Chains A and B, each alone.
Chain A
Amino acid sequence: MNAVVGRGKCAKAAVGASKMVQAAEHKGCRTSSNSGQASCGSRAGQADLPTEIWEKVKSHPCYSEEAHHHYARMHVAVAPACNIQCNYCNRKYDCANESRPGVVSEKLTPEQAVKKALAVAATIPQMTVLGIAGPGDPLANPEKTFKTFELVAKAAPDIKLCLSTNGLSLPDYVDVIAKSKVDHVTITINMIDPEIGAKIYPWIFFNHRRYTGLDAARVLADRQLLGLEMLSERGILCKVNSVMIPHINDGHLVEVNKAVKSRGAFLHNIMPLISAPEYGTVFGLNGQRGPTAQELKALQDACEGEMNMMRHCRQCRADAVGLLGEDRSAEFTTDRVMKMDVKYDLEMRKAYQDRVEDERAAKAAASKEELGELAGAASEISLLVAVATKGSGLINEHFGHAREFQVYELSTSGTKFVGHRRVDVYCQGGDGEKDRLSTIIRGINDCHAVFVAKIGGSPKSNLIKAGIEPVDQYAHELFEKSVISWFRSYLDRVKSGEIQHVKRGDASIRQKAVISAA
């Protein structure tokens, strides 16, 4: 009997929510009421940001594109239940679009999660962020989620806490989130128009019943926007994730971008739909395709005038551990973690992170200098290049070992991060080698050059045949500086007539998430 009161959680009626949303006040993209014009951005250095926001984002790999080369995050899978259904998610398996490991990974209790956090913090001192992102929706598992935050905040106060949600329950938990010292929240918002929403969400569970069709989408959109607004008012940084689904919400995401910006979102992350049929999602089974690299970039560029875009998202698993793009979760299985004798050493972590900061400053200075040299060159040419890196801002990965490439756009105004391209995990021997090469070429086919620490003779000649220049003379150097220096010489070669500048074609975005932690 008494169970009903404590257990049924959904509180506010959906109708009230929509009215409050109308009252939204246009606040630009800043979340705190600070004076001075600030451009908020994933790439911005401190110069462009109010200090207290910079403090929040500077070591957060998901919020700062630059930080993601240096700092690591971990997700703990304490939240298995969800309260909505998305057509890009099959809850039996890993959800490739949101961060969910599905049945293949272990669910953790809050106590196990803390032990794991401490184990990772001790092993990987650059781990600065702990997130709860699933495998379901953290706010559909409020007890486990907030218990975990509470325990981690107590045990490891220097770790930043963040949360990813579909937003349905968000308005009910905004105050709890604020009290939990969570300072970053990600909300997945794929539409503001219920007609479009009905094509993405078959149903939601709200106020003790299942809503379908337009009703479901209407309630969801209202609650998401209301939650975003309420968080912004409390000074909590919000990132909005949107899954780009061609012919369903692709054009509409420009509207979504405006709507979330006006409600205080700090960053907008448009991610490509991943819909390989073997995941058994509705979209995977009905042949809904994901966007190409060019389509994704065009949409991100279209939204960029409105607000800063995040382009380095890895759509990582709900139990990912490590730098973005790497996954060390296999080192931290529950079995192993429970056996570890963990020492949490705040001083050691601080010293390590100070070193990282020094390194970052040196790197920024070096590329600035190189950029100065470029300023003299006048050229209309802009092109993309791919970089193989293991982190620290260096070209330090072998072409054959790279699991992904970072793509930068180069022009005389400098470098701009465009995104990463994941290429299939190394398969050895025989035909696998050839397949892998063609996968890589498809993945970076829109690039003029690829920067690597090392590359074998055969892939080299194949790349050249495909029109992509393999560049290995900058091995183990800072890549920002190196690509600018290469670009300068490229422009010179074009000018002297040694080479001709030709446009590249489109590239494909991999449609498979990494299921097993390799």
Chain B
Amino acid sequence: MPFKIIASQCTSCSACEPLCPNVAISEKAGSFVIEPAKCTECIGYFDEPQCVAACPVDNTCVVDTSLARYQAPA
């Protein structure tokens, strides 16, 4: 659920896309987008959200506060 890409800042470099363990990121209309239903904040895979760690533009992959945080299955 929670991460989103701020389209106006995305350079479409594609760095984040192959890194997402949930294949939640894809290119749409010249910018990259995260499918909220697929994003687990990388919980269960990596210590850091991969899209955030790889993105060259600070504060471009950010938590989408309009959605609930991801809950790891118990």
Contact = CB atoms under 8 A, between A and B. Distances in A.
B7 interface: no
A422 B54 CA distance: 35
Contacts of A24: none
Contact of A82 (B13, B20, B53): B13
Interface in B42-57: 45-48, 50, 53-54, 56-57
A210 B21 contact: no
A179 B56 CA distance: 31
Contact of A209 (B15, B17, B20, B46): B46
Contacts of B48: 208-210
B49 to A, nearest CB: 10
Given A3-B21, A8-B21, A92 B57 contact: yes
B23 A205 contact: no
Contact of B18 (A7, A136, A209): A7
Most buried by A among B14, B17, B53, B56: B56
B11 to A, nearest CB: 6
27 contacts: A3-B20, A3-B21, A3-B23, A4-B45, A7-B19, A7-B23, A8-B19, A80-B13, A81-B15, A81-B17, A81-B54, A82-B15, A91-B11, A91-B13, A91-B56, A103-B11, A107-B12, A135-B13, A136-B13, A136-B15, A205-B15, A205-B54, A208-B19, A208-B46, A208-B47, A208-B53, A209-B48
Interface residues of B, number: 21
B17 to A, nearest CB: 8
A140 interface: yes
A82 B46 contact: no
A83 B50 contact: no
A83 B54 contact: yes
A141 interface: yes
Interface string A383-422: 0000000000000000000000000000000000000000
A244 to B, nearest CB: 24
A83 B15 contact: yes
Contacts of B17: 81
Contacts of A92: 11, 57
A489 interface: no
B56 A85 contact: yes
Contacts of A9: 18
Nearest to A102: B11
A510 to B, nearest CB: 26
A401 B37 CA distance: 58
Contact of B47 (A8, A82, A141, A209): A209
Nearest to A9: B18
Contacts of A1: 21
A402 B20 CA distance: 48
Contacts of B14: 80-81, 141
A3 B22 contact: yes
Contacts of B50: 208
A1 B22 CA distance: 7
A92 B58 CA distance: 12
Interface in B11-37: 11-15, 17-23
A170 B74 CA distance: 40
B47 to A, nearest CB: 6
Interface string A181-212: 00000000000000000000000010011100
A1 B45 CA distance: 9
**A-B residue pairs, 10 tightest by C-beta:** A81-B15, A210-B53, A91-B56, A205-B54, A80-B13, A4-B21, A81-B14, A208-B46, A3-B23, A81-B13
Given A91-B57, A92-B11, A136-B13, 13 more contacts: A3-B22, A7-B18, A80-B12, A81-B13, A81-B15, A81-B18, A82-B56, A83-B54, A85-B56, A141-B14, A205-B53, A208-B46, A210-B48
Contacts of A205: 15, 53-54
A12 B5 CA distance: 30
